Amino acid sequence: MADPKGADYRGLALIAAQEIYTWDTRSSSYSEVYSRLRGLWTLLPDGSNPVTVLVQEFEATGVTAGTYTTLAGQEAYRIGTAESVACDGELAKLRDYPAPWLGLHVCTVKVNVVDRTARGENAYAAPVSVMVNCPPAPTAPVDGCAMVGFYATPSRIVY
C-alpha cells in the first residue's frame, strides 16, 4: 500500500478506494484485511464515524468474515484499480450541500474491480465515496490528511 500521508486529499481518496476493493485470501486472513482498512480509518473525537460504520461499509463491498472464509477455499482475490475521482464541488450533491466543516473533503472514486477465484473471474466497476479530513480542520492531523470514512453502500454514494 502506498503511504496515505500528506495534504493530497484526492490522492488519499484514490489510495483508500483501491485498498477497500483489494484483498487476497491466499496471503491474508479476513482479520488482516480488516486491520489494514482499520489502519486507514481515523476516528474523530466526537464519535461521528464509529468503527461499526467501517464494518458496515466494508461488508457492502460483498465481503464478510463468513464469505471471506468461503472465498479462501476458492483461492479468491480481488484487485481494485481507481479509474476516476471527483471531489467536493465536482459532485452535484456537495455543490448543493457542502461539507459540514472546512477541511473535510468528499471524493467519489470509480474503481475497476476484478474478482478472481480458481473457477474464473468477474470484472465490474464500483463507486466508493471517501471522506478525507485535512487542515485547517481542528481534528485533522497537523502533517496532512486522514480518511475519516467511506461509503460503499449504493444508497450512500455521493454523486
What are the sequence ranges of the domains in the chain? 9-153
In order of 3, 43, 141, the CA distances from 127 in angstroms are: 22, 23, 26
CA 42 to each of CA 27, 45, 63: distance values in angstroms, whole numbers, following the listed order: 25, 10, 21
Strand boundaries in 2-145, DSSP class E? 23-24, 77-87, 104-117, 120-133
147 grid coordinates: 480518511
One pLDDT digit (tens) per residue for the chain, 159 residues? 444 555 799 999 999 999 999 999 999 999 999 999 999 999 999 999 999 999 999 999 999 999 999 999 999 999 999 999 999 999 999 999 999 999 999 999 999 999 999 999 999 999 999 999 999 999 999 989 999 999 999 999 999
CATH of domain 9-153: 3.10.450
